[in-house]
Amino acid sequence: MQKFMTALLILFTNAGVLMASEVNVYSYRQPDLIKPLTDKFTQQTGIKVNVAYLKKGMIERMKAEGKRSPADVVLTVDISRLAGIVSENLTQPVQSSSLSENVPELYRDPDNHWFGLTTRARIVYASKDRVSDGEIETYEELADPKWSGRICTRSGTNAYNVALTSAVIHHLGEASAQKWLEGLKSNLARKPQGNDRAQVKAIWAGECDISVGNTYYMGKMLSDDEQKEWANSVRIIFPKFKNGGTHVNISGVAMAKYSPNPDNALRFMEFLTSPEAQEIYAEVNYEYPIAPGTEAAKLVKTWGSFKADKVNLMDLAKLRSSALKLTEIVNFDG
C-alpha cells in the first residue's frame, strides 16, 4: 500500500510539472504568424505554448470564463483592443526590468498592463503612374479637394482607421478633425469597402489613385502570386502630421488576470519582447521591431524610412469614442 501511495504521489507530482510546463495564449493573430516564435520559445525553455486563435470576441470569452479562464497571455493587434482588454479588468500589471528595457515608454501601458511587440505605420499607397513624388506628404492633405474622386479606403469604423482618426483629433482637435473627415469623405472614389489590400487592387484597376493602409500589407501582397501585380502598381508614401510624425499602431501582449501559469506567462512575455524574438516576429509579419538596437527586415527597409509620431498610444485609445462619434456624425461610410 505504501509503495502504491508513493507511486501515486510521484504521478501527481509529475503531472503537476507537466501542467506547469505550458503557457496558454489567446491570440487575435493567426497561429502560423506566431509559430516561429512559439517554436523558438519551446526550444529554449521546454515550455509548451498552446495557442487559441480567436477571430473575435476575446473580451466576451474571457469575461464569461472568469477565474476559470485557462488564458495566461493575450496577443492582439491595435491599441484599442489592448486598451479594451485592460479597461474590462481582464489583465494584470507586470513588473519586469527586461520588459521595461525592451519596450519604449511610448509603446507600453503606463500601468504595465500591456507591452508592445512591433509597430506598423498607417501609410498612403499611391499609384506609380498617376501620382508624382512629393504630391502628398501629410495626413492633412488627404482632405485637399485636389484628391476629389481619387481616394479609396476601407470602413471608417475599422479599428485601424479609428486609430488614425484618433490621432487626427489628438493633433488638430475635434472640430478640425470633423472637417478633415468630411473632406476625406468628399474625396472618395467609392463607398468605403473591403480591406487594405482591396484598396490597392482598386488602384491597380484604375478606380482610384491613392489609398490608406498598413505597411505590412505590402509584404503580404508581394508574397502572393495573384496580388503581386497589385503591389507593384503602387509605392509607399509615409505621410506625417504637420506638427508630428507618421501614425503607427502596434501588436502587443498582456498577462491575463487569472493566469494559471503566471511564471511561464512572464517568461513568454519577456521572450517576445527580446530583440531576437522581435526581429523574428517583425520579419514574419512585415512589421517594425521596437526594442532598442533592432532592425526591420530587408524587404521592409526597401519601403523607406519614417519618424514615428511621438504620442503615447494610450492617449489615442482614450480618443477612440470621440473618433467613432465623428465618423458617425459625418456618415463616413454612407
**DSSP labels for 181-241?**
HHHHHHTBSS---S-HHHHHHHHHTTS-SEEEEETHHHHHHHTSTTTHHHHHTEEEE--B-
Identify the domain containing residue 157 by its residue range. 120-247+307-329
Q: Is the pLDDT of residue 319 over 50?
A: yes
Same-domain check for residues 199 and 322? yes
User: Would residue 317 count as lying in a domain?
Assistant: yes
Mean pLDDT for the stretch of residues 123-130: 98
Answer yes or no: do 11 and 49 share one domain.
Answer: yes
pLDDT of 51 higher than 90: yes
Angle of helix 159-172 relative to helix 174-186, nearest 10 degrees? 130
Q: Which amino acid is at 162?
A: V
Give CA–CA dist 79/316, Å, rounded.
Answer: 8
| Secondary structure class of 48 (helix, strand, coil) | strand
| Residue 5 confidence (pLDDT) above 60 | no
pLDDT of residue 166: 97
Cell of residue 295, nine digits:
532592425
What's the pLDDT tens digit per position in 177-215? 999 999 999 999 999 999 999 999 999 999 999 999 999
Identity of the residue numbered 334: G
- The Cα–Cα gap between 250 and 197 comes to 19
**Angle at the Cα of 328 from the Cα atoms of 322 and 332, rounded to 5 degrees:** 115
pLDDT of 299 > 90? The answer is yes
Contacts 24+ apart (CB under 8 A), 37-44: 37/271, 37/272, 37/277, 37/280, 37/281, 40/271, 40/277, 40/280, 41/268, 41/271, 41/272, 41/277, 44/271
| Domain-located, residue 334 | no
The H or E element that residue 267 is part of is helix 262-272
State whether 314 and 224 are in the same domain.
yes
Is the pLDDT confidence value at 235 over 90? yes
Q: Does residue 160 share a domain with residue 50?
A: no
CB 86 within 8 A of CB 254: yes
Inside any domain, residue 111: yes
Q: Among 7-16, 205-214, 280-289, name the most confident range.
A: 205-214
Taking the C-alpha atoms of residue 281 and residue 27, their distance in angstroms, rounded to an integer, is: 14
Residue 287 per-residue DSSP state: -
Model's pTM, two decimal places?
0.88
Q: Considering only CA atoms, which of 110, 99, 121 is closest in space to residue 292?
A: 99
Residues, the chain, total? 334
CATH number of 125's domain:
3.40.190.10
Residue 85 lies in a domain: yes
Name the domain count of the chain.
Answer: 2
Could you report the per-residue pLDDT of 213-224, keeping only the tens digit for each? 999 999 999 999
CA distance readout (Å), 310 to 160, 197, 237, 313? 18, 27, 19, 9
**Residue percentage of the chain with pLDDT more than 90:** 89
Q: CA 334, CA 166: separation in Å to the nearest integer?
A: 20
| Torsion angles phi and psi, residue 203, rounded to 5 | -65, -45
pLDDT given for residue 34 in this prediction: 87
Report pLDDT for 11. Answer: 34
Please check whether residues 109 and 133 belong to one and the same domain.
Answer: no
| Same domain (yes/no): 221, 317 | yes
DSSP 135: S
Do both 105 and 8 map to the same domain?
yes
In a domain, 301, yes or no: no
DSSP single-letter state for residue 116 = E
8-state DSSP, 274: S
| Whether residue 174 sits in one domain with residue 113 | no
Same domain, yes or no: 202 and 318: yes
Residue 3 confidence (pLDDT): 44
Same domain, 129 and 239: yes
Asked whether residue 39 carries a pLDDT value surpassing 70, the answer given is: yes
Dihedral (Cα; 275, 281, 286, 290), 10-degree rounding: -30
The answer to whether residue 291 is domain-embedded is: yes
pLDDT in tens, 25-34: 999 888 777 8
Residues 229 and 86 in one domain: no
**Whether residue 6 is found in the same domain as residue 44:** yes
pLDDT of amino acid 20? 55
Q: Is 261 within a domain? A: yes
- Residue located via cell numbers 503591389: 231
Residue of 243, 240, 122, 248 lying closest to 172 (CA atoms): 243
